[in-house]
Amino acid sequence: MPNPNPLIAYTSHYKETCFIAWYSAGRPDKIPQIQEIIPEDENGRKPSIPTVAMWRDEMGWDWRADELDAKANSIVDDELINHRVLMLKEQAAIGKELQLKGIEHIREQGFDTSSSALGAVVKGAELERTSRGISERLVKISKLSNDRLLESIGKLLDEANESGEIIDVDAVEDKEDD
């Protein structure tokens, strides 16, 4: 076992390891908890509770963790949007297939022989149009900058205001200003 010499400074790498252990443990609030979850350094030592508190403050652990959480949330949001876009594209393909089958049936057996064939064409066209329109809009929206998105929302609100629509909204604090 290495000699736990208290005069040897903790390395930057070790301090980073402590941050990672704290963040991975769910960002515990209490310093004694943090001190317990961090590993020993290469010399078999653990920093004191005041040292851990100082690192947390001076190295901005909370701020850094907030940034990491925001990035993680952004990735999850992007994945949700992509999943939704895929689902809508699949629905559009099914709608197109329904149209083709309905049209095929009408061509082979005549227009008046099956109302279900006509219904399939109409429903398929509606499903395809709706799915394609929504999926394309979701992709466009996900790629807009915040400024462009706010500009678009402003235009929609102006149009609604001119038409006399009532729109109920709540103000949301912008987290980037914190």
The burial class, CB within 10 Å (0-12 / 13-18 / 19+), for 111 is exposed
Q: What percent of the chain has pLDDT over 90?
A: 34
Inside any domain, residue 4: no
Q: Both 44 and 79 in a single domain? A: no
Residue 15 predicted with pLDDT over 70: yes
**Would you tell me how many other CB atoms lie within 10 Å of the CB of residue 138?**
15
Residue 47 shares a structural domain with residue 77: no
The domain tally of the chain equals 2
Q: How confident is the model at residue 172 (pLDDT cuts 50, 70, 90)?
A: low
Predicted confidence band at 164 (pLDDT cuts at 50, 70, 90)?
low
Domain span at residue 139 reads 73-151
The per-residue pLDDT for range 32-54, each reduced to its tens digit, is 899 899 999 999 999 999 999 99
pLDDT tens per residue, range 70-100: 999 999 988 988 888 888 888 878 877 877 8
158/12 Cα distance (integer angstroms): 53
